[in-house]
Structure 1
């Protein structure tokens, strides 16, 4: 009797473009600049993206715009955030100390401040034009495309 070999192909097709942005701006101000220069209408979502780091659940700012005319969804995700972590004090009065800890949404991109995820349904997205426009914004240091296939934690970018 012959042996059969079953192959599980868990490679998910990622149908989005990921753009990295460097620039130390507040999330609301970057969303304002993107709305102005790219003619978007990014709005902060009621629920931020939350990641678990051990016993801490850290929120990352999340803005979204659904362009129904072009069948695209733009999502702005904060990649680096600072989180106040409470720790019990071992001092005389037993109070609580807070320490501010920095976290990254995508650990593989530690120097990237923000990520733009563009989900498209069939239409060709003008990547080069968008990245050129982003690099012309004075407050943004640089912007470039990230190859999603090379990331180890690309499952973090699926929000559905």
Structure 2
């Protein structure tokens, strides 16, 4: 008897979204304002942040749904810094707590990226270039570029909905 094996990896491999990496030192709300201004969109803060590892790391999320184009725009932070305090072990005469700042990344492959702009719709090359040029018009943004989402190891972290 012949054994038939179905492989479904190729069916679900392609993601129809555009991912833009943004390098800047702005706060998340200021970047959302600038993107709204330069792209003509209306990003608003999501009531719930992205929560990974049981509230050990949370990432701010701004979203806008374009009903005309049937597209969801999402701006998400890549960096989460948390403070922890731990007791020092007999290192000094006085007992004191030591403050440790831990940094977690939404997409660890891109640790230098501050924010990601995810557009949930397949966009042609000319429209993607137009979006990138408008993002780069903001003087506070150091650089921005497109990322192939299918090459990411941690692309599952970009599933928000």
TM-score, scaled to structure 1: 0.86
Cα separation, partners in 2 of 1:46 and 1:95, compared to 1, 3 Å = farther
CA deviation digits over 1:77-121, x for unaligned, max 9? Answer: 00122111233444678665431112111001111110000012x
Question: Contact between 1:42 and 1:74, CA under 8 Å: does it hold in 2?
Answer: yes
CA distance in 2, matches of 1:123, 1:153: 22
Partner of 1:77: 76
Q: RMSD of the TM alignment (CA)?
A: 2.3
Unaligned runs of 5+ in 1: none
- What are the within-5 Å matches in structure 2 for residues 9-158 of structure 1? 9-11=8-10, 12=12, 13-52=14-53, 57-90=56-89, 96-120=97-121, 126-158=127-159
Structure 1 position 57, deviation (Å): 1.6
TM-score, scaled to structure 2: 0.86
CA distance in 1, matches of 2:69, 2:85: 45
CA deviation digits over 1:108-150, x for unaligned, max 9? Answer: 1111110000012x77582110001111210001111100111
Question: Contact between 1:71 and 1:123, CA under 8 Å: does it hold in 2?
Answer: no
Higher helix share: 2
Unaligned runs of 5+ in 2: none
Task: Describe the SS at the equivalent of 1:111.
Answer: coil
Cα separation, partners in 2 of 1:90 and 1:56, compared to 1, 3 Å = farther
> Which deviates further from its counterpart, 122-131 or 6-15?
122-131
CA distance in 2, matches of 1:94, 1:47: 38
Q: How many residues align?
A: 156
CA distance in 2, matches of 1:123, 1:82: 33
